[in-house]
Amino acid sequence: MLAQSDAGGMVLKCLSLVLLYTGVVQGEMLGWADSGLVIALLTGSVVTGVLFFIRASYYRQTFGDPGWLSNRNLRLCFAVACLYGVLMLPDSLFIPSFLSLVAGLKPQQIGDVSNIAFVIYLLFSPVAIFIARRTDPRLVMMTGVVFIAAACLLGQKIDFRWQTTEFIPLMVIQSAGECLVLIGLIASFVVNIKPAEALHLGAYVSVARVLMPGLSGAMMNTYLRISYDTHSELLRTLIQTGEQKPAAGAENVIQIAALISREAHVASFIDGFSLTGLAVIITLVCLIFLRPAPPNPIVPSAG
């Protein structure tokens, strides 16, 4: 069996994903276009990815045959699975980062806040499964996405006074939405996939489950940094200079700089919630075009 396996395809696919992940993560630290290493990693990822798909098109027993992409529902479900990495960002990135940078919480305190979201997710899971067994998976996912949209709207109202208590309603709605989307997504994959496609689709699950959350976090960190710099510059233009000297000299300058930094951080997180809201809209569009699942004994499939 090992002799008949597509070792070359495995190497190309895994190498492409590793290069992509490494390039994106290092891009934030080293500078995207300014780093030859980052450019080489991303270029290598594209080249090996193209070679993998070329090989898969003619190799009979290819690893991760992309033939399942001909199934419209599976394509859309996979797109939603990839977008799920972005939809998770309010709980996984925005709230912890805000509490650290703006509220000044310590890592241990932030960990306690993250545990709240995890417990809510865990407690809501049986409810989500109960609903998914009796409702069309498309409706389950849409409901979850609407919950996440509501969380994003709440996130756009944050200010520097927000602490853990203010974030609890947002975390409850966000965690419930994530749970509904994930349970509905799993159900949609199960009822739409053919047994012959299951193994090949499994080779791509790591892209959505492992790679995309990492890429989403790295890209969003870059976006937050750019947004922070932009808002910092805009806020600095509002400060009048040269007319009079501050009474306390350097102390006032430090206070003003801290105020600008704080408000720029708040504005950047609001932008992050807005960008996540855009991902919510794209996800809803994908779900709208999902067709009813074929008849199955697992979940309702009525159109």
- For the stretch 165-183, pLDDT in tens is 899 999 999 999 999 999 9
Residue 9 DSSP label = H
**3-state class of 6 per DSSP?**
coil
Half-sphere exposure for 259 (CA within 13 Å, toward CB): 10
Q: How far apart (Å, rounded) are the C-alpha atoms in residues 255 and 249?
A: 10
Residue 2: predicted pLDDT: 44
DSSP one-letter string for 209-277: IIIHHHHHHHHHHHHHHHHHHHHHHHHHTTS--SSS--TTTHHHHHHHHHHHHHHHHHHHHHHHHHHHH
Average pLDDT in the 92-120 region?
86
Residue 65 DSSP label = -
Average pLDDT in the 54-60 region?
74
Check pLDDT > 90 for residue 247.
no
Which of 221-225, 229-233, 257-261 shows the lowest mean pLDDT across its residues?
257-261
Pull the structure tokens for residue 132.
Answer: 């998914």
The confidence band for 244, taking pLDDT boundaries of 50, 70 and 90, is low
Pull the structure tokens for residue 67.
Answer: 């033939």
The confidence band for 297, taking pLDDT boundaries of 50, 70 and 90, is low
Please enumerate in sequence order all residues whose Cβ is within 8 A of that of 36, keeping only pairs 6 or more positions apart, or say none. none
DSSP one-letter string for 161-203: T--HHHHHHHHHHHHHHHHHHHHHHHHHHHHH--HHHHHHHHH
Q: Which of 293, 292, 287 is nearest to 79 (CA)?
A: 287
Residues 151-170: tens digit of each pLDDT: 999 999 999 889 888 999 99
Which of 32-46, 55-69, 77-91, 120-134 shows the lowest mean pLDDT across its residues?
55-69
The confidence band for 1, taking pLDDT boundaries of 50, 70 and 90, is very low
What percentage of the chain exceeds 70 in pLDDT? 90
Higher pLDDT: 225 or 194? It is 225
